[in-house]
Amino acid sequence: MQVLQPITIGHTVFKNRVLFPPLTTGYEDADGNISPQSLAFYTRLAQGGTGYIVLGDVAPIRSFAVTPKLYDDSQIESFRRLADNLHAYGAKLGVQIFHPEYDCDALNALFDAGEMHKVRAQLHHDMAHFVNEVSEDALMVIIDKMCACARRAQLAGVDVIHIHGDRLVGALCSPLMNKRSDQFGGSLENRTRFALLLVQALKDAVPELLIEYKLPVITPERGKGGVPISEAPLFAQWLEAAGVHMLHVAQANHTGNLADTIPPMGVQPYCFFADITHAVKQAVTVPVSTSGRIIDPAMAEDMLTEGKADMIGIGRALLADPDWVNKAAAGRPQDICRCISCNEGCVDTVLNRSFIACVVNAENGFEAVRFITPAQQKKHVVVIGGGPAGLEAARVAAVKGHKVTLLEKNAYLGGQLNIASVPPRKLEIRRTIEDLTQANQALSVQIKLAHDATPESVLALAPDAVIIAVGATSFIPPIPGIDGANVCDAWQVLAGEQQAAGRVAIIGGGIVGCETAEYLAEQGCQVSIVDRLEQIGADIGATVLPSVLATFQTYGVAQYPRLTVTSIETHFETHIETITASNSATNTTLQCIDKQGKVVPIPCDFVVTASGARPVNLDTTLFNAQGIEVIKVGDCQQVADIAYAIKTAYDAANLL
C-alpha cells in the first residue's frame, strides 16, 4: 500500500505516509509542559505505527489556553522526552506553533488579576479586531517569540516546525478578516506578507529543521481565516519559494463554528478536502498533505493513488484506534475500530476545557493507566445484552483470554445504536456496531442471537462470571392522557414500530427529542418540541447543534422551551375508531403551562414522548446465590451515553 511507503522530505525520512494532524488534546499541564498523560497518548500513537505526529497549538507565549506551551527554556525537557519516545518507535515529531488572534499580554494581565469579565470582553473584542489593531512592531515581536519557540523545539529534538496558518496568521491572510491599510493589508501580497516573513525568520532560526505550513483554505460555504480557493495555489507557490518543505492543506476556520473544520457525521463527505488539496498540490513540487474525515486505510490509499495528496492526515480516526497503521500493515483493516465522527469525546470535551477521551475507545486519554491485562485465571464469562456495552465487555473479556458467550434477545446486535442511527445524518453510528461485531467474531466470542436470557438459561451455561448489559427502556412520563392511542414513544417511532403523522408534538427537547423531530420533519410532519428547560437541544454538542437547528429552520419545527406539559387531551371524532396516519383528524391538545403559570395549548394529531430512559432491571438473586460474579455495565447500571457504556464495560471486563 502506498500509505505505508516511506517518504523523504529534505534529509528526513518519514517511515510512512500517515500523519496525526495537529489536535489540541487538553492533556498537557496547565503551564504547557508535556504531562505524563500527553506523553503516554503520543507515545501510544507512535507505537501503533503512525509515522509523523504533529503536536497541535503549541503556544510560544504564556497563555491561559489549554494547549501545550513552549515559551521558556525550562519546558524543553518535557518536549525532549516526547521527541525521544516518538523517535524510539521511528516516528517524527512536529510542533504546530501558533499565535492566538488576541493580545496575550493584555489578557494575561487581566487573567492574573482575576478580572474574568474583562478577560471575556477583551477576548470577544480581539477575536474580531486584533488582526487590524496589532501594530507592525508588535507583529515583529510575535515573529521573534515564534522563532524562540522553534529554537527550543529544535533543542528538544523536534523534527518539523509546523506553522499554524490559521489563527492570527490566517486572520492576516484573509480578505474577510484583514481590513488593514498598511503593508500587511489589502492585496494577497500584503495579506500574506506576515506569513512569508514568519517562514523566512523560522528558516533562519532553525535552518536544520523542516518547515511545514498549514494552509487553511476558505471555501465558498465555510471558513474565514486563510485564503480563498482562488488564491490558494499561488500562495502555496510563494510558500514553496520561501523555503517551506511541506504543506498541510485544510479547511479554514475562524467562524466560531468548529463544525467547519471538524465536521460531525453526515455533514461533510469523507475526504472532503481531497480536491482542494489536489489543486494546491498541482501548483507546487513540495509534498502536500490534508486531513478531514479520512476514516479508513482504503480512503487514504485512494487519495494517494489518485494523486490528491502525498501524506494523509488521520486525526479523530487515530483517537478511535491508535493501531490504525499497524492493523493496515498487517492486512487487517477490518480490525480497526473506526471513528464515527460524533465529536462528543473529542471536540465537545476540549470545548468544555476537559481532555479528549474518544467515546469508542476507552483507552484514549488514559493510555498510561487503562490497558487490557491478561486474565490470571481463565473463566467462562457470559454477557447478557448485545448493545455497545455488552459487545465491548465481551470483546475485552475475550482479549484477556476468557471464554465468552454473549446472549442477545433480538435477532440482531447493536442495541440502542440501531435506533440512534436512524435520524438524519446519524447512519455512521452503525460503524460501531459493525466494528464491535467484527471484533467479537474475530475473537471467537460465541454470540447467541434471539436468546431472551433468563437466570435459568444463563445458569445452564455454567458461567464463572456474568456481565449484565441489558440497557434501558424509555421513560413514559406520568401525564394524564399519556396512554392515548395517538401517543407514541420516540424510540418506537425511530425503530419503525410506531407511526406518527400530521401535526406532531414531542415532549422532551433533549437529543432524542430533537433528532426524532428532525426525522419526523423530514417525513413531512409538522413538528413542535416542548421542554421544561431553558433551551431545546441543550445537551447537543456545539458542532452538531447548528445542523439540527438548520433542519428545524428548513422544516419550520416549532420550539417551546420553558413549558411544562400538564395533560394530553384528545377528543375523538365519533366516526373514527382507530387512529392512523391517514385519518388523524383528531382533536388533540398538548396542554402546557409556562413559568408564570399561563396555559399554553399546543394542538396536534400525535404526541411523541422523548423523556429519557430508565435502567432495565434483571434479577440476579440466582447468580448471587451460586456465588457467581455479577457486574452491571452501561445503561442498566446508570442511564448515560455510548461513552459510558463503552467505558464501564471495558473496565468491568478488564477486572475479571
Ligand X SMILES: Cc1cc2nc3c(=O)[nH]c(=O)nc-3n(C[C@H](O)[C@H](O)[C@H](O)COP(=O)(O)O)c2cc1C
Bridge partners, 589 (sequence order):
569, 603
Q: Binding of ligand SF4 at residue 367 (CB under 6 A)?
A: no
Residue 24: CB minimum distance to ligand X, A: 4
d(CA 526, CA 237): 53
The option from ligand SF4, ligand X, none interacting with 360 (CB < 5 to 8 A, set by class) reads ligand SF4
Part of the chain binding ligand SF4 (CB under 6 A), chosen from 144-152, 333-341, 402-410, 619-627: 333-341
- Among the listed residues 292, 386, 423, 502, the single contact to ligand X using CB under 6 A: 292
Part of the chain binding ligand SF4 (CB under 6 A), chosen from 103-111, 235-243, 353-361, 612-620: 353-361
The option from ligand X, ligand SF4, none interacting with 340 (CB < 5 to 8 A, set by class) reads ligand SF4
Chain residues 315-374 in contact with ligand X, contact rule CB under 6 A: 315-317, 346-347, 350, 356
- Among the listed residues 24, 178, 341, 421, the single contact to ligand SF4 using CB under 6 A: 341
d(CA 345, CA 357): 5
Q: Binding of ligand SF4 at residue 360 (CB under 6 A)?
A: yes
- How remote is the C-alpha of 214 from its chain's centroid? 21
Is 87:50 a contact under the CB 8 Å cutoff?
no
The residue (of 55 and 236) whose beta carbon lies closer to ligand SF4 is 55
Binding mask 67-106 for ligand X (x = CB under 6 A): -----------------------------x----------
Q: For 104-219, list the strands marked E by DSSP.
A: 160-163, 210-218
The option from ligand SF4, ligand X, none interacting with 345 (CB < 5 to 8 A, set by class) reads ligand SF4
**How many chain residues interact with ligand SF4 (CB under 6 A)?**
14
Burial 152-164 (b: 16+ CB within 10 A, else e): bbbbbbbbbbbbb
Part of the chain binding ligand X (CB under 6 A), chosen from 120-128, 203-211, 286-294, 622-630: 286-294
The residue (of 33 and 584) whose beta carbon lies closer to ligand X is 33
Pairing of strands 526-530, 503-507: parallel
Sign of CA dihedral 357, 353, 316, 345: positive
Q: Binding of ligand X at residue 314 (CB under 6 A)?
A: yes
The option from ligand X, ligand SF4, none interacting with 413 (CB < 5 to 8 A, set by class) reads none
From the list 167, 193, 222, 316, the catalytic residue is: 167
- Among the listed residues 43, 291, 421, 432, the single contact to ligand X using CB under 6 A: 291
Kind and range of the H or E element at 437? helix 430-442
d(CA 290, CA 313): 5
Binding mask 306-325 for ligand SF4 (x = CB under 6 A): ----------x--xx-----
- Among the listed residues 9, 15, 22, 344, the single contact to ligand X using CB under 6 A: 22
Part of the chain binding ligand X (CB under 6 A), chosen from 146-154, 181-189, 309-317, 371-379: 309-317
Instruction: Let me know if 117 is exposed, middle or buried by CB neighbors in 10 A (0-12, 13-18, 19+).
Output: exposed
Is 561:533 a contact under the CB 8 Å cutoff?
yes
Q: Quick one: three-class SS letters along 154-177?
A: HHHCCCEEEECCCHHHHHHHCCCC
Active site residue 167: yes
Part of the chain binding ligand X (CB under 6 A), chosen from 172-180, 233-241, 311-319, 329-337: 311-319
Q: Binding of ligand X at residue 214 (CB under 6 A)?
A: yes
Crossing angle of helices 388-400 and 642-654, in 10° steps, is 30
Q: Binding of ligand SF4 at residue 511 (CB under 6 A)?
A: no
Query: DSSP string of 294-359?
Result: --SHHHHHHHHHTTS-SEEE--HHHHH-TTHHHHHHTT-GGG--------IIIIIHHHTTS----T
Q: Binding of ligand SF4 at residue 543 (CB under 6 A)?
A: no
Query: C-alpha dihedral over 571, 475, 620, 409, to 10 degrees?
Result: 80
CA angle 363, 366, 367 (to 5 degrees): 75
The residue (of 356 and 470) whose beta carbon lies closer to ligand SF4 is 356
Q: Binding of ligand X at residue 308 (CB under 6 A)?
A: no
Distances in Å between the Cα of 300 and the Cα atoms of 168, 231, 583 are 30, 26, 52
The residues annotated with a catalytic role in the active site are 167
Binding site for ligand X (CB under 6 A): 21-24, 56-57, 96, 164, 214, 250, 261-262, 291-294, 313-317, 346-347, 350, 356
Site residues for ligand SF4 per CB under 6 A: 316, 319-320, 339-346, 358-360
